[in-house]
Amino acid sequence: MGGVLIATTLVAVACRRPDPAPPAGSATPTPVVSAQPPPARSVAAAKSAEPPARDDTEPPELNDAGVADRWIVDEPANVAPAGPASASSRGVVMIDRDGSVVLGRLERTPSGPNPSPTSVKKIDAGPERFFSYGVGPAVADDWAFFIRQGKLHRGRIGAPGESNVVASDARNGSRVAAVAVDRMGKRIPVVTYVAQVGDRPVARLWVDGGGLETLSPDGSAASSVDVVVRGDELIAVAIEGRSGMSPVHARRIRLDDATPRLEDDKVIWVGGSAQSLTEVKAAASPDDAWVLIAIEKDTTHFGLARIHVGTQPKTDSPVSWREYPNGLDPAPIASTTLCGEPVVLYARPADAVPRAPQELHLAAIEPEGLSASQKVAFAGAFTNVSIAPVAGGALIVYVGDGRTWAVSVRCPQRPAATGARVR
């Protein structure tokens, strides 16, 4: 479809460093779903004994040097069966098979210097209520946006009732992205999604009160799209997944009231072969921006590519890598702002063994590269991850081992010269 790859195997084979050569015939880890949900596993009580993974451009991945952890990671909460779930400031937002918005409410944020149980109200439902492998909704303030039966829907979080249709050209199975911006004295949702136009999937932008715009230039396509707020503007990014080279697009967007003004589209980087589940994510600080993609680096290496957008999208943008021990599909990632800095959440294999269990890592995006990461969770496989700011930190929601989990991450209290401050 329009050059977009619908792939069934991952090109990247198992790779480990230092040499020796990778074992022949190793394959992408296959998702493992437990028959019974495992007990919640605390990262606070478990540190990896493996040496830190390194690559040519990023700092060491793991914080094994005895330095104090950057964040307080609380104990995970077992919220619901596996299903389309996303983190929000109000808790865990899920979409059931009927298209209803279901909320597992965040009841409070833990306090104190030590990890505590994550306080999210459990959703009382059986596994038959949700599609186990559906993508989570996009959340903007009180609205959840999702695709159902080829249509882009929105439903109000915490308010039972039918969702309403926003657009009728959405591509089934693709992920929606949403942000809320201040315009005309109110908060306006801005949404990006993949639309199906004939045989060509394209990136589209919807602004509440401002209508629809096509982001993909003529002749190009999009398999994944994201949008992020940077200062008083938006940055939209998309990947055109192909079997050979996969272009990554970015463009600035300004809003005159609710009317979007699109600046020129730029191909900022051309990656390797993308898989059917390869997704693109954007991250931003007030004066900077990045694109994040888990994709193959070459035929024997796979990892998280961090493309620097800067203040203005441009061709041949610099890219750095945090390599994984092996390939992964799906390789879910998410980003937000945590404790005043942009962060990335990513799932990766624990080691280079085929079908290895997986780890969920959290790292800050710094000017010189990604920070040392903290492990947040472990699972046989992660099929979906998300993160959203909450008071005092963030809420992480992930789907793994047949269940939907939530874990709060907090900004530690750090002493200052004249009292305490929150970093």
Give every CB contact of residue 334 below 8 A, 6+ residues apart in sequence. 281, 344, 345, 346, 385, 386, 387
- Counting Cα atoms < 13 Å in the Cβ hemisphere of 339 gives 20
Q: What is the pLDDT of residues 6-26, one digit of tens each?
A: 333 333 333 333 333 333 333
Assess contact for 40 and 75: CB atoms under 8 A.
yes
Secondary structure (DSSP) of 184-250: TTEEEEEEEEEEEETTEEEEEEEETTTEEEE-SPTT---SEEEEEEETTEEEEEEE---SS-EEEEE
Q: Is the dihedral of CA 17, 22, 23, 25 positive or negative?
A: positive
Q: Is residue 399 very low, low, confident or very high in pLDDT (cuts 50, 70, 90)? A: very high
Q: How many CA atoms lie within 13 A of 7 on its CB side?
A: 22
- Please state, as a whole number, how many other Cβ atoms lie within 10 Å of the Cβ of residue 263: 14
Residue 60 or residue 49, greater confidence:
60
Give per-residue pLDDT as tens, 384-396. Answer: 999 999 999 999 9
Q: What is the rounded distance in angstroms from the CA atom of residue 240 to the CA atom of residue 153?
A: 24
Query: What Rg do the C-alpha atoms of the chain give, in angstroms?
Result: 20
Q: Which residues pair with 293 in a beta bridge?
A: 280, 305
The 10s digit of each residue's pLDDT in 177-221 is: 999 999 878 899 999 999 999 999 999 999 999 989 999 999 999
Query: How much is the pTM?
Result: 0.84
DSSP codes joined into one string, 87-148: EETTEEEEE-TTS-EEEEEEEE---SSS--B-EEPPP---GGGS-TTPPPPEEETTEEEEEE
Tokens 């999937």 found at: 201
Q: Sorting pLDDT into bands at 50, 70 and 90, what band is 359?
A: very high
Which tens digits make up the pLDDT trace of 222-273?
Answer: 999 999 999 889 999 999 998 889 999 999 999 988 899 999 999 999 999 8
* Residue 36 pLDDT > 70: no
**pLDDT reported for residue 244:** 84
Burial grade of 369 (CB within 10 A; 0-12, 13-18, 19 or more): middle
Q: Which of 321, 326, 314 is nearest to 293 (CA)?
A: 321
Choosing among 2.120.10, 3.40.50, 1.10.3210, 1.10.287, the CATH entry for 72-392 is 2.120.10
Quick one: average pLDDT of 276-291? 94
* 110-141 per-position pLDDT tens digit: 888 999 999 999 999 999 999 999 999 999 99
C-beta neighbour count of 182 within 10 angstroms: 11
- Residue pair 412/420 in contact (Cβ under 8 Å)? The answer is no
Q: Which among 360, 304, 327 has a CA at the least distance from the CA of 46?
A: 360
Query: d(Cα 12, Cα 15) in Å, to the nearest integer?
Result: 8
- Nearby residues of 190 by Cβ (< 8 Å), 6 or more positions away: 140, 178, 179, 180, 181, 205, 206, 207, 208, 227, 234, 255, 260
Average pLDDT of the chain to the nearest whole number? 85
